[in-house]
Amino acid sequence: MGKSVLIVDDSPMLRQKVTESLREAQLFENYFEANDGFNAIKVLSKEEVDMIICDVMMPRMDGFKLMEMISKEKRLEEIMVVMLSANRGLFDKIKGLESGAIDYITKPFHPQELVVRVRILLKMKQLQNELKTKIVELKRVTILDDLTGLYNQRYLYDTLKREYNRSDRFNLKLSLVMLDIDNFKDVNDTYGHQRGDTIIKEVARLLQVVLRGYDFAVRYGGDEFIIVLSQNTVIGSHIVAERIRKTVEGSPLLSELNGGKHITVSIGVATFPDDTKGGYEALISKADQALYSAKRNGRNRVAYNMEDENSKF
């Protein structure tokens, strides 16, 4: 969809002059007009607009009042506003810029001056949008694991700390599920690291399928994963962990990637405050201990109670 401009002025001749100048320079695809602030608001309620070129002095609602109305609407905050005025006073220029206008042009103006200023503003906006996109991508890269697309350790620690403090404050349950792939070194040694990476990615995908929308999985390192289960009880976390275990073991694709043999995972579960009240790091440590309990007792199982290492859930 092409860029759109709204020209707001009580003079039909000036609106025509502005429109013709911008059309000739091919700066916008869609042109809308309004003769005062009230009609401008009507246009904005129905149309997507990239820029407003607005007179200051208009009947019913002037340019400053229009800017005030625009500033109250979050969906309009990205619109660039250029104010036009016959008043050459410094006070009005300052007031216009302080009200949110990105530029201020005094009348009468040369059409070429308007075109040049608008072109510069559009270029600035394009560069700003590109920068925002790069910042979002950079942020995404810093919290996501390259191989699996799951969250990474950095995101885990930042988010788990907040979740733990929230659970402590409001007396909520918080569970961690830690798992790794059984005998994964043998898989790498037999089929190579590329096949191993494919298996890790598929396990990560299955975790995302099993989890609720507000839980999240982290690639903790190598073939090890952590799942954060907010407001999940001991029983609830065991149900999720067992579902994960069965889903991985029953995956035809994982079996095919492993030469026809099932891929299995060992899982440890820890819950706040049942297992520890010593902070989020202690909760990770408890889940890690439970994971190694599962491995010591034969793998392909879920372990929770360290005092009952023979239990299989």
- pLDDT over threshold 60, residue 310: no
Q: Kindly indicate whether the domain formed by 4-137 is annotated with CATH number 3.40.50.2300.
A: yes
In the prediction, which pLDDT does 313 show? 42
Average pLDDT over residues 96-110: 76
- Choose among 286, 250, 285, 242: nearest CA to 267: 242
* Residue 90 reports pLDDT greater than 60: no
Domain with CATH 3.40.50.2300 in the chain: 4-137
Among 55, 92, 215, 223, the active-site one is 223
Residues of each domain in the chain carrying CATH 3.30.70.270: 153-303
Q: How many CA atoms lie within 13 A of 34 on its CB side?
A: 26
What is the layout of strands, in order, in the sheet containing 216-221?
216-221, 224-230, 174-181, 265-272, 302-303
- pLDDT of 311 > 50? The answer is no
pLDDT tops 60 at residue 103:
yes
Instruction: Look up the CATH architecture of domain 153-303.
Output: 2-Layer Sandwich (3.30)
CA distance 212 to 224: 20
Establish whether 186 is a catalytic residue.
Answer: no
Question: CB–CB of 5/52 below 8 Å?
Answer: yes
Backbone φ, ψ for residue 176 (5° rounding): -115, 135
Give 166-215 pLDDT, tens digit per residue. 999 999 999 999 999 999 999 999 999 999 999 999 999 999 999 988 89
Least confident of 5-9, 86-90, 159-163: 86-90
* The two three-digit tokens of residue 195, written as one number: 């096949």
Q: What percent of the chain has pLDDT over 90?
A: 63
Residues 6+ apart with CB under 8 A from 287: 176, 177, 178, 226, 268, 269, 270
Residue 308 is predicted with a pLDDT of 43
Dihedrals phi, psi of 230, to nearest 5 degrees: -75, 140
Model pTM above 0.75: no
pLDDT at 111 over 90: no
Please indicate whether residue 104 or residue 28 has the higher confidence score (pLDDT): 28
Please provide the average confidence, as pLDDT, over all residues in the chain. Answer: 88
Q: Are 179 and 225 in contact (CB under 8 A)?
A: yes
Confidence of residue 287 (pLDDT cuts 50, 70, 90): very high
Q: Which residues pair with 110 in a beta bridge?
A: none
Angle, helices 111-143/12-25, rounded to nearest 10 degrees: 60
Residue 98 has pLDDT above 50, yes or no: yes
More confident residue, 171 or 62: 171
Token pair recorded at residue 156: 């885990």
